[in-house]
Amino acid sequence: MAILRVNIGPEGAEIHGRGRPAGSALARAARQSSGPIIVMVHGWNFEPGHSRHCPHRHIFGLGDTGVTSWPEGLGFDASAQSTGLCVAIGWHARCGLREAYCRAGEAGRMLASVIASLRLGSGGRPVHAIGHSLGVRVILAALPWLDAGDMGRIVALAGAEWRKTALEALATPAGRQAELINVTWRANAAFDLIFARALRHARPKTTQGLGRVDVGPDTGMGAGIAGGLGWAQNRVDLHLDAPGLQALLAARGMGLTLRRRALCHWAGYANPGAMALHREILRHPEEWPLSLLATRSPSPKMPGLGLLHPA
């Protein structure tokens, strides 16, 4: 089975639609698989089992769902020929933004248990992850509960998290050995501002555990987390609007179409070519080093990109 569907919540991790604990199934699926193990985490407003907003029938679905399929975009399907293991994670995110932000932090601990179970059967393979919006917060919140080497690469699409909080997660034992690709784009700037305004109360007050890392002002991930060079240690800012990225993709026989929209929170996975890029970054990390991504996607001049300082 190339795809395993799991829901996480206060009760723990359960197999979607069956209500039974997922731990043994996760370890077994990892043991029986070969190739990369990739965990997918959705963002705000989804609810597992909901008639209209279930992520497993929406972005995590297969076939003609009317939306971009994350599993298919990452190279997974229901056939035995799919290499690797895809784990679709659902969490209870259909609520107010403030409550969803809190739930995402709590879901991180449950996600850590999922990743720990996968590692039991992984044969030493790290677990990679991709998340959108508050799903990025879930992934980062799992890092303090994991051991060094548990997490491989993280593709963060329009991450709805404060920069300091993200860097604190990357300063943990698991975080220091992970690699974070912070994916941003111009049309998400307004959503960064909404996040900042709505979650002023959650701005981190300290930088404990960061050592000498210069975290800069209280901004969100959309403003960048890798410093002026766009690449630092184990993290990189990947700007989809950067002309250099288009040139790199063209040289590798790939493409990325950014639709002309002033506002779009979903371009990081919905636009043609986006999921193919993430697939290559996660499946073939040796061919896409962070240094390469940084040099081909320097921060473009985008007024309003990233979180503005909320009053």
Assigned domain for 62 exists: yes
> Which residue range is the domain that position 166 belongs to?
3-296
Q: How confident is the model at residue 259 (pLDDT cuts 50, 70, 90)?
A: confident
Q: 237-250: per-residue pLDDT in tens?
A: 999 999 899 999 99
CATH number at residue 61: 3.40.50.1820
161 token code pair: 């998290």
**SS percent in the chain: helix, strand, coil, step 5:** 40, 15, 45
Note the pLDDT tens digit of each residue in 47-93: 999 989 999 999 999 988 889 999 999 999 866 556 899 999 999 99
Is 191 inside any structural domain?
A: yes
User: Which residue carries 């901004």 as its tokens?
Assistant: 219
Instruction: Look at residue 280 and tell me if it is in a domain.
Output: yes
At position 280, the amino acid (one-letter code) is E
CA–CA separation, 13 vs 177, rounded Å?
25
- Quick check: is 148 in a domain? yes
